[in-house]
Structure 1
């Protein structure tokens, strides 16, 4: 697990840092999508910063004390919620941009609106993370083995556990999943009805976004649901079941971590605007000449010539 965490940390750090550099120095956060992508990259980066601590914990034990346990556990959870809710906001934004194109393009304060939405997402995520901050502590689970975990009150422990698990499943998976399915289904229908538009690539990206989300997030939430049902039924688990559940949590949670490495690829790297900005980064860093830059730059018009009503949305909100 420490090696696995290290690989995710390095790859996710490179991808999301590149996204931030692009939007800060080249795109300048001009559109609603830019704001959402920047917010998603920040959430992923802050989440990735907790992985070195978990790598040390997996290798030996938790050596950072209770205060650091509260900070790291809370940072992990708040960025989980903010990342998942931002993905839901991105799907709604794309729905507005493509299906409700006229309405969204007539809005003068769309960028300010997206900033307010992102602030609301972070505030909501922080509120939901308060149980983790309050209950997390460095706990001696086994002889000479300290772990960072949530220590629940003895009298109402099962109620608190169920509440935390249900909140994590609903906010961290169900709401984003349902939102993505509804929005992207309508978007796909709209693209299929459009004429004179290279829609096949856009549809493939939509399918990839949903499939990757399900593959990465569904297994962990299934395990979490099984554990929640067992607590609700007040069933005693055997030592073998508890051990298998711990292994299942480790494996499925690791799969979920991979999602933060794939977000830059699915949401940013495939867009024409980002590829052009990336070429400019290479030119400014001396890896590419001005002549090579001019030869490789692609305009949105050259890449695709969308149908009427979808042109602006596909340029500003790349699928």
Structure 2
């Protein structure tokens, strides 16, 4: 019988995130794609955000299995899945920043809104975000399958820099992750949303309170999910660079904290649909309209079938 231990707990958590993230992001993507209205830049960014979060979630079952059984999928899948995870990690967070910029533009500079031009720019920006995200993720190609330690046959998929100084490579790649995957998007979000909330405070009506609640929830969720992971990674980097003194117990605690905070960060991929879509009144109206339209089509189809059956029965009675 499999003994219950922290690795199994993390495995179950990753599977749970996968099961929550896939339906949520698919539903948001479906609502946006089937919308009969012209998409706003925020809609476009949200659609691409669902793609990034969905692709990231698709890799989770592999990493969930590896928590318990070790990495059993080979070197190629190690590089590929790590690359997909890293690329969509960057694109997801950058699209969050893009949404904050667009909401700032719409609310603070509403009179300067040139919709057609902004729609074209949003599509070009999406291409740029994907290109930047995949470019920043290229160090994931250095990932390889290796033993957890010399005394264990347990295999893990991890970064192994075998050219030049591994310490310098690790400092550089993690520096990029902290700067472009957390600090820059966070500064953009806080700056844009702070100005947006200031403008909303000078407006009247119930809608401003709803918008402020959503904005506050977005920033808090981002900080709660990602801050522990980045703090833990900074500590891990300092340990690997031997800038901090440590013993085996502390090293083991940091490794466990990395796995736990990474799972917490991935939880953000299933929170995003709820924060950006389900909480939004416009999205709920679109979803309600689509469901009503689908229900009417089903009722119409049932009515046509029953009517056809009735006419057939009536014709049979006439013949008899």
Normalising by the residue count of structure 1, what TM-score does the alignment of the two structures yield? 0.85
Q: Which residue of 2 aligns with 1:56?
A: 65
CA contact (8 A) 1:282 1:288 kept: no
1:280-315 deviation digits (Å, cap 9, x = unpaired): 33334449998xxxxxxxxxxxxxxxxxxxxxxxxx
The CA distance in 2 between the partners of 1:2 and 1:97, in whole Å, is 42
Runs in 1 of length 4+ with deviation above 4 angstroms?
Answer: 287-290
Q: Is the 8 A contact 1:95 1:184 kept in 2?
A: yes
Distance 2:134 2:279 in 1: 31
The aligned residue for residue 131 of structure 2 is 123
Change over 3 Å in CA distance of 1:257–1:29 after alignment to 2: farther
Q: What is the CA–CA distance in structure 1 between the aligned matches of 2:130 and 2:192, rounded to whole Å?
A: 22
* Aligned 1:2-41 pairs, distance under 5 A: 2-27=11-36, 30-41=39-50
1:91 paired residue number:
100
1:191 aligns with 2:191: no
Q: 2:86 aligns to what?
A: 77
CA distance in 2 between counterparts of 1:27 and 1:3 reads 39
Structure 2: distance between partners of 1:59 and 1:184: 41
Is residue 277 from structure 1 mapped to residue 265 from structure 2 by the alignment?
no
User: Structure 2: 5+ residue runs without aligned partners?
Assistant: 1-9, 300-320
SS in 2 for 1:153: coil
RMSD over aligned Cα atoms: 1.9
Deviation at 1:56, TM superposition (A): 0.9
Deviation per CA, 1:135-160, whole angstroms, max 9, x where unpaired?
11122334322111111227400000
Cα shift at 1:239: 1.3
Q: 1:132 corresponds to which residue? A: 140
* The one of 98, 109, 120 aligned to 2:117: 109
Q: How does 1:225-264 map to 2 (within 5 A)?
A: 225-232=234-241, 234-235=243-244, 237-264=246-273
Contact 1:23–1:29 (Cα < 8 Å) also in 2 = no
Deviation at 1:121, TM superposition (A): 0.7
- Aligned to 2:116, what secondary structure does the other structure show? coil
Closer, same or farther in 2 for the Cα pair 1:239/1:196, shift >3 Å? closer
State the distance in 2 between where 1:262 and 1:39 align.
15
Native 8 Å contact 1:81 1:171 kept in 2? yes
Paired residue secondary structure (1:139)? strand
Cα shift readout 1:259-292 (whole Å, capped 9, x = no counterpart): 11111111111222211222233334449998xx
Larger radius of gyration: 2
Aligned to 1:223: 232
- Structure 1, unaligned runs of 5 or more: 291-319
Please give the alpha-carbon distance, in whole angstroms, between the structure 1 residues aligned to 2:170 and 2:273.
33
